[in-house]
A and B are shown apart, each in its own frame.
Chain A
Amino acid sequence: MTIAIIQFGGSNCDLDVLHVLQEVLNVDAELVWYKDNNLDHYDGAIIPGGFSYGDYLRSGAIASRTPIMDSIKRMADSEKPIMGICNGFQILTESGLLDGALTTNEYPKFKCEWSYLRVETTDTPFTSRFNKGDVIRVPIAHKDGNFYSDEPTLTKLDDNQQVVFRYVDKNGQITDEANPNGSHENIAGIVNEKKNVMGLMPHPERASESILGTTDGLRMFQSMIDHISK
């Protein structure tokens, strides 16, 4: 099993994800520069966080139009798991692989802090190691994380159980105070209809070792590996 970690100019969480996969989980993972356009021999991919192309035009807009995204789309069509973290989530929405858009935080400031998330579904390749309703702690670090979509799309996401994580307080309640960026319905992460492509704003790779305060994020990577190993 080998997982591809996609690097664009300006990606900056790529080495953290590589560390978690290789050192913490002992899984084969490779950094793949965006000019490599064949991902057929990888079993899954992670698009890490950062500021690809300096967030020019819109966060994720330029990266989502690079040729490697055709390979990512092929990988998505072949139902291999793909996880986009933070800027990776923005790239996936900009590419049309995920619904909605990530717009500027309601209070337009870069927020770097811990957030509580509630696991809304375990029926995805990224959340099988959780229980539905689990409240986990994973940090955020973004200025453009305000999830927006029109009402019909929100309804579809809810009806198909495509919302994976919501921002909650530590008791698991959805409140305005627990919403760090103004996201519609406190949405922190979603999957596509086939559920093999997930995007989320929080950084699970920063919550994957006890020395960092929690291993809640690690379970997302473990779930993904379980899914590939099946």
Chain B
Amino acid sequence: MHYCAEVTIELKSGMLDPEGTTIKRALGHLGYQTTNVSTAKKYLIEVDEESRDIAEQKVDEMCQKLIANPIIHNYTIELRETQ
């Protein structure tokens, strides 16, 4: 089966997010008051695997070994079956 994994990488809570802080300030310049802006990165990873479980397990390994840095990041995986 063909699967597409949508991987979202975020900074762990409490970590500085200078880009988010800068964007928050710029929104303020435009007159928008926000309580917080955080940045995140999204990766779309497509795989062919026998089952949903195997696909999810493989993508999770990829996140742990490369896509995320466990010292500073949390990540989520959303998997969907595609054609």
- A contact residues vs B (CB 8 Å cutoff): 57-58, 61, 65, 94, 100-101, 103-108, 146, 148-150, 182
Q: Which residues on the B side are within 8 Å of A107 (C-beta)?
A: 18
For the complex, give the distance between the alpha carbons of A47 and B15 in Å. 28
For the complex, give the distance between the alpha carbons of A148 and B18 in Å. 14
The tally of CB-CB contacts under 8 A between chains A and B is 33
Q: B22 touching A108 by the CB < 8 A rule?
A: yes
**Most chain-B Cβ atoms within 10 A of its Cβ — which of A100, A104, A105?**
A104
For the complex, give the distance between the alpha carbons of A116 and B18 in Å. 24
Q: Which residues on the B side are within 8 Å of A182 (C-beta)?
A: 16, 18
Cβ of B47 under 8 Å from chain A: no
Q: Given A104-B18, A107-B18, A148–B72 Cβ distance below 8 Å? A: yes
For the complex, give the distance between the alpha carbons of A61 and B19 in Å. 20
Q: Which residues on the A side are within 8 Å of B67 (C-beta)?
A: 57
Q: Which residues on the A side are within 8 Å of B18 (C-beta)?
A: 104-108, 182
For the complex, give the distance between the alpha carbons of A91 and B66 in Å. 13
For the complex, give the distance between the alpha carbons of A149 and B15 in Å. 10
For the complex, give the distance between the alpha carbons of A94 and B72 in Å. 11
List 30 interface pairs A-B (beta carbons < 8 Å), by A numbering: A57-B66, A57-B67, A58-B69, A65-B65, A65-B66, A94-B69, A100-B71, A101-B69, A101-B71, A101-B72, A103-B15, A103-B16, A103-B72, A104-B16, A104-B18, A104-B19, A105-B18, A106-B16, A106-B18, A107-B18, A108-B18, A108-B19, A108-B22, A148-B15, A148-B71, A148-B72, A149-B71, A150-B71, A182-B16, A182-B18
Quick one: which of B16, B19, B71 contacts A146, CB cutoff 8 A?
B16
For the complex, give the distance between the alpha carbons of A76 and B67 in Å. 25
Closest 7 A-B residue pairs measured CB to CB? A108-B18, A101-B71, A101-B72, A104-B18, A101-B69, A108-B19, A106-B18
